[in-house]
Structure 1
Amino acid sequence: MTETPRAWRSVLPHLGYELPADVTPQRTGGPMIATLPLELIRQSVATREFWPIPEPVAERYRSYRPAPLWRARRFEAEIGATVPIYVKYEGGNISGSHKFNTALAQAHYYHRAGFRELVTGTGAGQWGSALAAACAAFGIACTVFMVGGSLRDKPYRGSLMRLYNAELHASPSRLTHVGRVAAERSGQGNSLALAIGEAVEYARADPKRAFCIGSGETYSILHQSVIGLEAIDQLAALDASVEAVIGCVGAGSNFGGLALPFFAADSAGERDVPTELIAVESSTTPKLTRGVYAFDHTDSTGTGPMEAMYTIGSGYAIPASHSAGLRFHGAAKLISAMRYRDQISALAVGQREALTAGRTFALTELVVPAPESGHALAAAARVATGREPGHPARRGLLVCISGHGLLDLAAYDKLLAGLPEDRAADSDALRAATASLRAVHPMGGA
């Protein structure tokens, strides 16, 4: 049986370039940088390849890792796949998703740095659930701002967070200035950027609080490398090889955690078959397929550092979607840089197609995937049946089921009731939301 990895693996030494530096507004030092533990800063910038997993984190990992990997033969047969489809399942922990991998690591480092409360924003609630449980594990307080529309659709996500003593607020809330302003505007209740903005503002009010984020930062992608490292060993144990690795993208930690260890292994000459890495996003939030590569804010406050990212604009009014974890305006700095240099590719999938693929997987493999994971499954079905031109996978493909959908059944109820087709993001609105952003030049400078 495959063992839980003893070290995380960084892709930074294999990129062949440095990531663009953040641009910090002159009026603020940026709350994230001020409170970020030194070890997390190192993990974001150093070219060290292997980072030993601290024993308190490793001990928690061993309670649910290694996560299962299997060939989804019944799903293959149902969709008419012409190549094998392997799935890596990350729903077998208390949070129900891959987010717990970095939540445990971050809670450990923040606790060691002396912080007594962690504050965050969450979309679908997987990250909020993961951080609440991780904070409980390390004896620190947790406050979560959750996208209000998502909390209404997924009330038991809130129950789970409160079970672990987290203080939970629907966003926009009356607790912060940015929340109060947004509450007075129409169409602003579905934004993860807003929930993150509220968390940033709230955390800055107390020096014992720290804002932390679960997906877009380079260190969180590093922590998720346990997914891909395990998958490489598990495929080898099955004497199987894949030519495509597929994961859904909100900001990028699930996709990065699965795919980037394959990129590193390919770069180091450790694998015989080169791997295409396919990031799958929601068509309601098409940053990688229709966005611009520019410097943008990660939240709605406009006070933190601006990162080089593929973005549709932090002020873009994202429409409601059952895949709340994908409702983020930008992709991670690392994922964006690799997309810009064609080291990864991207596809967009609508929520009806995603939920239909999720239901098919549930019927055939008896695992209910999160709606976010349904996007990856839909893309896998396209590739495995030859319906996605330019993306062959002759020896098979690997897809990440980033979490379970047992707390997302309202979305499947709406699918069964005849969920309408999605409307594509409006081109004029996308242009308006990104018009003032400064483009990232080819060598990474502003």
Structure 2
Amino acid sequence: MVTPDTSTEADPDLRPGEVPSHWYNVIADLVGYVPEERAPARQHSGPALRPQLPLSIYRQSVSREPFVAIPAEVQAQYERWRPTPLIRARGLEQRLRTPARIYYKYEGASLSGSHKLNTAIAQAYYYKQAGVEELVTATGAGQWGTALAMACTMFGLKCTAFMVKCSHDQKPQRRMLVELNGGRVIPSPSTATKAGAAILAGDPGCPGSLSIASSEAHEYATESENARYCAGSGDNHVLLHQTVIGQEALAQLREIGDYPDAVVGALGAGSNFAGIAMPFFRHSKLTGRATELVAVEPKACPKLTRGIYTWDHHDALGNTPMSRMYTLGHTFVPSAIHAGGLRYHGAAPVVSWMYHERLISAVAYGQKSVFDAAAEFVRAEQVIPAPESAHAIRYVIDRAVKAREAGTPETILFNLSGHGLMDLSAYEQWTAGLLDDYPAAEADIERAQAKLSARAVER
């Protein structure tokens, strides 16, 4: 069992070409926030869940130290592609005729093509040190499944990924990437678990959701001797590992003498947004320089902008402990939008608390307008963004246009968390005019809100 090294000192003078030596822990700077969970009132199905986290990772998730040292083995892997580029989007600026300066941190430059590898490597390292032989997970669009399979290969672990069925069908190349890296992919809901079989019995055409895939992954991990469940977003330690993104961006902007008025990231559960935003939260707190932190989510799954702040489970069957978060309910099944990584029913507890305290802001967009923005970005920058990242681009374009109309020169930074080369079929649908915003989603969201409100009254 490895205990993470903690320190109150990190890299205040990190140079643009260097990889951070520490992760930043935002919990240290959140006065009033308490990381806590509630055990489920009853076990809904299957055997009782055993603890899944190694003690080393658990300590990270509840630590109040501002920095956690990155193990040498993890840092060595990071150095294979980090630091990732900070790019000024001059083509987009010119296309929009805006006085705003637009920068993006390009996490698509990672070995897996997305930001997910930052935490996958860290978690595989800690689980390996704890004697675990197989990591089991739930993945939406497949970026997380790909990253975890790669990390497991690096550290000699097996990998099993329950992939949300609609994304599994939309993105067969992602499944192939996982399998090429030695992982096994099971479309969820499946008949491989009691949880999946029960859901399919009630809804044979269910498109799946991350909460359903999580239920299946937890059951599989519980019933396998040397396997453990591993999360790719939402948990405190996952957000912690992603902060190398924002720390590098701070150093890179300092080198060129600029600083953002707004820092923007797409939000599924929180790793994309937190990775870029949290280090700027600390910097603003220390220096007094105002920076707006903006989370962008899909209208089909708007947990921050339309969810309810309450205690909820992380899986569809309610077997996992509850966290207090903005949620649409753990049984909510979003429409099958192409931004599969943003279809999680709740926001990370830390992000939810910050939103509740008005330390960050949030906005939601429909799928078609998001792809409109992505196409604009492709033509301006010749970079194809993942549909998840395109949500941030939609906000950036809208804000840059407002800056043009107001004649306000401001600086906007966003996290381009992954490339869209595996999503060309979605772009093909956009080109053909076949993408829609799922009008039925509105009724689903209203039912979810009513269900949560009724539950709150009962309690």
TM-score normalised per structure 1: 0.94
Whichever residue aligns with residue 275 of structure 1, its letter is T
CA distance in 1, matches of 2:61, 2:416: 26
Q: Rate the CA distance shift 1:142–1:47 in 2: closer, same or farther, 3 A.
A: same
Q: Are 1:82 and 2:99 matched, yes or no?
A: yes
Choose which of 320, 338, 345 in structure 2 pairs with 1:322: 338
Q: Rate the CA distance shift 1:419–1:77 in 2: closer, same or farther, 3 A.
A: farther
Shift of residue 358, structure 1, vs aligned partner:
1.2
The aligned residue for residue 365 of structure 1 is 381
Shift of residue 387, structure 1, vs aligned partner:
8.1
Name the SS for the 2:331 alignment partner. coil
CA contact (8 A) 2:100 2:404 kept: no
The aligned residue for residue 300 of structure 2 is 284
The aligned residue for residue 203 of structure 1 is 221
Shift of residue 383, structure 1, vs aligned partner:
1.3
Shift of residue 20, structure 1, vs aligned partner:
5.1
The aligned residue for residue 396 of structure 1 is 411
Q: Are 1:16 and 2:40 matched, yes or no?
A: no
Whichever residue aligns with residue 404 of structure 1, its letter is H
CA contact (8 A) 1:11 1:260 kept: yes
The aligned residue for residue 442 of structure 1 is none
Shift of residue 437, structure 1, vs aligned partner:
4.1
Whichever residue aligns with residue 54 of structure 1, its letter is P
Choose which of 250, 253, 266 in structure 1 pairs with 2:271: 253
CA RMSD of aligned residues (A): 2.1
CA distance in 2, matches of 1:132, 1:162: 8
Q: Rate the CA distance shift 1:392–1:305 in 2: closer, same or farther, 3 A.
A: farther
CA contact (8 A) 1:61 1:101 kept: yes
Q: Are 1:376 and 2:361 matched, yes or no?
A: no
The aligned residue for residue 369 of structure 2 is 353
Choose which of 34, 46, 71 in structure 1 pairs with 2:63: 46
CA distance in 1, matches of 2:166, 2:70: 36
CA contact (8 A) 1:31 1:304 kept: no
Structure 1 segments, 4+ long, off by >6 Å, are 29-33
CA distance in 2, matches of 1:78, 1:430: 40
Shift of residue 392, structure 1, vs aligned partner:
11
Aligned residues: 437
CA contact (8 A) 2:50 2:222 kept: no
Deviations 1:226-249 (A, max 9, x none): 000000000011111111000000
CA distance in 1, matches of 2:455, 2:218: 22
CA distance in 1, matches of 2:422, 2:236: 28
Whichever residue aligns with residue 430 of structure 1, its letter is A
Q: Are 1:128 and 2:145 matched, yes or no?
A: yes
Q: Are 1:65 and 2:82 matched, yes or no?
A: yes
The aligned residue for residue 137 of structure 1 is 154
TM-score normalised per structure 2: 0.91
CA contact (8 A) 1:285 1:425 kept: no
Deviations 1:349-399 (A, max 9, x none): 11111111112111211111000000000011111111899x998521101
Q: Rate the CA distance shift 1:64–1:438 in 2: closer, same or farther, 3 A.
A: farther
Q: Are 1:157 and 2:174 matched, yes or no?
A: yes
Q: Rate the CA distance shift 1:290–1:97 in 2: closer, same or farther, 3 A.
A: same
Gapped runs of 5+ residues in structure 2?
A: 1-15
Gapped runs of 5+ residues in structure 1?
A: 440-445
CA distance in 2, matches of 1:195, 1:297: 13
Name the SS for the 1:425 alignment partner. helix
Shift of residue 76, structure 1, vs aligned partner:
1.5
The aligned residue for residue 434 of structure 2 is 419
CA distance in 1, matches of 2:80, 2:176: 23
Choose which of 188, 208, 216 in structure 2 pairs with 1:190: 208
CA contact (8 A) 1:295 1:437 kept: no
CA distance in 2, matches of 1:173, 1:88: 36
Deviations 1:63-116 (A, max 9, x none): 010000011011122233331111000011232110000000000000000100
Name the SS for the 1:118 alignment partner. strand
What pairs with 1:268-283 in structure 2 (closer than 5 Å)? 268-269=286-287, 273-283=289-299
The aligned residue for residue 4 of structure 2 is none
What pairs with 1:228-243 in structure 2 (closer than 5 Å)? 228-243=246-261
Q: Which moved more, 1:134-143 or 1:36-45?
A: 36-45
Q: Rate the CA distance shift 1:316–1:94 in 2: closer, same or farther, 3 A.
A: same
CA contact (8 A) 2:260 2:291 kept: yes
Choose which of 98, 101, 114 in structure 1 pairs with 2:115: 98
